[in-house]
Chains A and B, each alone.
Chain A
Amino acid sequence: MDATAQGVSALELSEVSVPGRLHKVSLTLAPGTLVGLVGPNGAGKSTLLQIAAGLLPGHGTVSWAGRPLASMPMLDRGRAAAWVPQEAQFEFGFSVRSVVAQGRYAHGDDAQKVEETLATMGLLRLADRPVNRLSGGERHRVLLARALATEAPLQLWDEPLAALDVRHVLEVLALARRLAGTGRTLLMSLHDLRVAHSLDTVVVLHEGRLRAVGPPTEILTPALLLEVFGVQAEIAPGLTVRLS
């Protein structure tokens, strides 16, 4: 993606606040990074993602690839960033293919791109099924596919892994890694600290404030985890799974 030219940040939040939920969060993410957003329940992860996606009013400024969001036309926004909600509820029975095709709204329809995305997400088998008849994990994969279909350089995913089985978690992480390799920037909220530990960067939120940002090996220290989550952490061998 040309928009993620070197030297320009993919996402920049400057003193972003939402009364009662986020307090003066400033954050800059470089293009081509895979970023985990962690924090206890109610820390403000979803709020941060929504304001970064331009979906919530708040104080402060948000910029994508150096462009202030406030001055961007809606269609440009649809092409520049994709957001995946935490909830995957559908009232109407649109087919999986039709929902994924919605990702092309800001571009104009592109049937081939939709088919490619369905294949990438392993959804071809479900393509004609109504989304409101799918399982929770399947519905989340449809939302991820719709976000991918936008080809947006900035991807903001709210707990994309929470509803997935272990194989799909690994597949989505592998996909996220490939996307980062092509210059996309991914910010995803997570609860699994072991997954967060494997990413390029972690952002730690605590009570609406930014607690720490940086490489996980430096940031996710036992002291910080105890302070933020109230848990004892240790690096120990245990059950490990990988894609076969």
Chain B
Amino acid sequence: MLVGLMIGSLGVGDLTLGPARILAGLLHHDALAATVLWDIRVPRLLVAMFVGAALAASGLVMQAYFRNSLASPGLLGVSSGGAAGAVIAIGAGWVSHSLLVLPGAAIVGALVATVAVLILARRGASTERLLLAGVALNAVLAAVTSYVLSNFTLTYERNAQILFWLLGGLEDRTWEHVAISLPVIGAAAALLPLRRPMDLLSLGALEAQSLGVDVRRLRHWLLALATVLTALATAVAGTVGFVGLIVPHVLRLLVGPEHQRLVPLSLVGGAAFVVGCDLLGRMAGGIRVGIVTSIVGGPFFLWMLRRKA
């Protein structure tokens, strides 16, 4: 399915390319197709895949951490934290100094949000408490972002950039963005050995500890990985909502709650979901991917909430 969506993503656009021409373009046998693919569509596709994998894995980790299937980077405000960090860095003009500034600022912002959620909602907190903490945090971070928007002396270009991060999109992604999102691979790999302890943690921290899991260490790792994954995704695509909520949930319904399979499938499924939503938005005349995931995700979230209640 991911492969099919990848081919679709490379083929659809102002210049429609069939599979044969995609292959020719990728191999530089077709100059026009090669330019379109290597300069525009391949980096966009790669960024979409990294963003999807990162957000889905991040949601999965937060769900195990909070023992709540409604925990996710968007609802808890971690994505907004990453976006606020990115917006501040852009607004202050720090971004021009180095390629590392933007993801760095997003990580700091996401980390601040994560710590705030931890203070507002203790582990094992009720769904209501967790979501309300997220609501409060999202509101505060939106205010921070609005403040930056309205008070910094901004050029038109900077404003456009900031809007881009708030709405979430994959337009004009370059190889630079691919490079920024590359550490997603490392963070995802670091998750693989934590799959079994994640199973135990998701059924209770004290229980996990009594069975021999070093819960303190595990929690620190999970929190760090979830934060970094969300921040990287946000740094290259802005706030793309609901991926971390929908993908793990659907996969849990399909293959069960064991992280052995859930972690790798969330990475692949998240990539497929974001590539698919991006494709859908492009075919519908250029709707941004963050808008598409929210249109799909909003009703889905309400359905989950209803099911849980």
Contact = CB atoms under 8 A, between A and B. Distances in A.
Interface of A: 50, 53-55, 74-79, 81-83, 85, 89-95, 98-99, 102-103, 105-106, 143, 146, 150
Nearest to A101: B199
Given A85-B204, A105-B200, A91 B67 contact: yes
Interface string B274-292: 0000000000000000000
Nearest to A105: B211
Contacts, number: 71
Contact of B200 (A50, A79, A102, A150): A102
Given A91-B68, A93-B257, A78 B213 contact: yes
Contacts of A85: 204, 206-207
Contact of A74 (B199, B207, B213): B213
B252 A150 contact: no
B258 A98 contact: yes
A81 B200 CA distance: 16
B260 to A, nearest CB: 10
B209 interface: yes
Contact of B206 (A50, A77, A81, A99): A50
Contacts of A92: 67, 69, 202-203, 252, 257
Say whether chain A's binding surface is mostly helix, strand, loop, or mixed.
mixed
B256 A103 contact: no
Contacts of A91: 67-69, 202-203
Contacts of B203: 90-92, 94, 99, 102
A74 B210 CA distance: 8
B172 interface: no
Given A74-B209, A91-B68, A105 B214 contact: no
B212 interface: yes
B199 A102 contact: yes
B196 interface: yes
Contacts of B67: 91-92
Interface string B59-82: 000000001110000000000000
Given A85-B204, A92-B69, A92-B202, A102 B257 contact: no
B228 to A, nearest CB: 24
B230 to A, nearest CB: 21
A143 B210 CA distance: 12
Contacts of A78: 210-213
Contact of A150 (B68, B211, B214): B211
A54 B213 CA distance: 12
Given A74-B214, A78-B213, A103-B211, 4 more contacts: A82-B210, A92-B67, A92-B69, A102-B211
Contact of B211 (A76, A89, A90, A106): A106
A150 B213 CA distance: 13
B206 A83 contact: yes
A85 B209 CA distance: 12
Given A55-B206, A83-B206, A90-B203, A105 B68 contact: no
Interface string B197-226: 101101110110111111000000000000
Contacts of B214: 74
A90 B200 CA distance: 11
B289 to A, nearest CB: 29
A11 to B, nearest CB: 14
A98 B260 CA distance: 12
Given A85-B204, A91-B202, A93-B256, A79 B210 contact: no
Nearest to B197: A105
B18 to A, nearest CB: 44
29 contacts: A54-B209, A55-B206, A74-B214, A75-B212, A76-B212, A77-B212, A78-B210, A78-B213, A79-B212, A82-B211, A83-B206, A90-B203, A92-B69, A92-B252, A92-B257, A93-B252, A93-B256, A94-B199, A94-B257, A94-B258, A95-B256, A98-B258, A99-B203, A102-B199, A102-B200, A105-B196, A105-B212, A143-B207, A146-B211
